[in-house]
Structure 1
């Protein structure tokens, strides 16, 4: 009888242990099931702003999408889905809520519907582009401030918020769809000057477009404006956008060497 009671006690202990193991396993499974998935953010990019962002065979390429990915990869909280469009359309996608964010200069117009992070992803400086044989080349080269642009015909690409805010009040800008159109108009002297907002972009264009821009020249003019910051921004209608931007800055500040 003693042996029977001992066997029954052992079986009861085994059953209790088994039930405990099942309970622990269930808790673990529930914990795993409750883990939050990374939040997807649809980020729009200018398809024609190299080397910062551009379309490469249907994929967003360049400094900015790479930097955003690097920052977000430091946490499993967010993941960026990158898309490209003509710049004006890209911004409209955010305005109507079909995309979430971008990287851009925080112009007054953009601030109406986009909140921006604190730390710039990049800063850019100005230059002037004009025809090599322009009859007023000496006058263009002697421009000493943005106010001097009122003497000339100026061309720019739709969606340039900095030019719209800083140059449009000084002189009427002829807006076109692409940099190709800008260079063509300059070469044919149908306009006088283009204020390129990035030396890196100008150098990239001149290096890659070759013969297509052989009749225009580029002049670095960082003295015409303080450096222009490009920030990461999210639409204000996105739930929790301020929290996401604060977290983005925290992740960015962990390693500013990128």
Structure 2
């Protein structure tokens, strides 16, 4: 009887030890799940849909980690300020964002961008009487007599659009699209193609939207890198696997196909 009791106790202790071991930092269970935080209201990049994360950024991160052998991702959405706070504090493992100096203080970033946002597009209406001029312009000087629609408070537009352009301010991108397509208050605005096409389709202007890629807009490219909180377990190892994945031809092909669907 005592032997059977001793054996049962020993088996229980071995099981308890195994549970503690697997739960200890630095011990991989073979499927370490990371939590990535995304902005809840930044379509088409990230937004909440039926209480889940949707948009290009969650899809890109899920794609990247589908190629990693040891990690998978759980995506959450929240106000962007809270998402950054959570990564800073280690309450979330990672995010996809521009690796500013401040963010590099509390997160480790992938060597190469997972996505590059391109502001080098002129957005206008096919019905605009100045459409031909917009299509042929080789610089902002050619557009000096036109009105550009801008977003109120946008520092990027203040710094990168010439001061001589007459500005028509809009509260947000939806308002800007209405000003362009419905009210015809301005001739064009500058935005990434993904943003413009998403909003145009949402508001019913997709069939009249024109988007032209140009090379005369300064500071047009904004890189977005995968970042992992320095408080996250094995952060350096996670980024190492991400960097390796992003060099593989199959991943690059699938990433480009995914991005193209949003353009």
Pairwise CA distance, 1:111? 1.6
SS in 1 for 2:186: coil
| 1: CA distance, partners of 2:123 / 2:51 | 28
Is structure 2 residue 62 aligned with structure 1 residue 69? Answer: yes
Confirm whether residue 219 of structure 1 aligns to residue 208 of structure 2. Answer: no
Partner of residue 47, structure 1: 42
C-alpha displacement of 1:239: 4.1
Rg larger for: 1
- Stretches of structure 1 that go unaligned for 5 or more consecutive residues are 1-10
Deviation at 1:93, TM superposition (A): 3.9
1:234 Cα shift?
A: 4.6
2:247 is aligned with 1:253: no
Match of 1:111 in 2: 100
Please, what TM-score do these two structures have when normalized by structure 1?
Answer: 0.62
Does residue 30 (structure 1) correspond to residue 25 (structure 2)? The answer is: no
After superposition, the C-alpha distances for 1:110-169 in whole angstroms (9 at most, x for unaligned) are: 724323432222235433222444343333223213565555432244687764653377
- Following the alignment from structure 1 to structure 2, what is the Cα–Cα distance between the partners of residues 164 and 60? 32
Counterpart contact for 1:117–1:246, Cα < 8 Å = no
Does residue 144 in structure 1 map to residue 134 in structure 2?
no
Q: 1:223 to 1:14 in 2, by over 3 A?
A: same
**Could you give the per-residue CA deviations for residues 195-231 of structure 1, whole angstroms, max 9, x where no partner exists?**
1212x44444445543x466x5313224445983541
Unaligned regions of 5+ residues in structure 2, if any? 89-93, 255-263
Cα deviations by residue, 1:155-198 (Å, 9 ceiling, x for unpaired): 24468776465337785765534332111111323222111212
TM-score by length of 2: 0.62
Secondary structure of residue in 2 paired with 1:190? coil
Assess, with a 3 A threshold, how the Cα gap between structure 1 residues 68 and 190 changes in structure 2: closer, same or farther: same
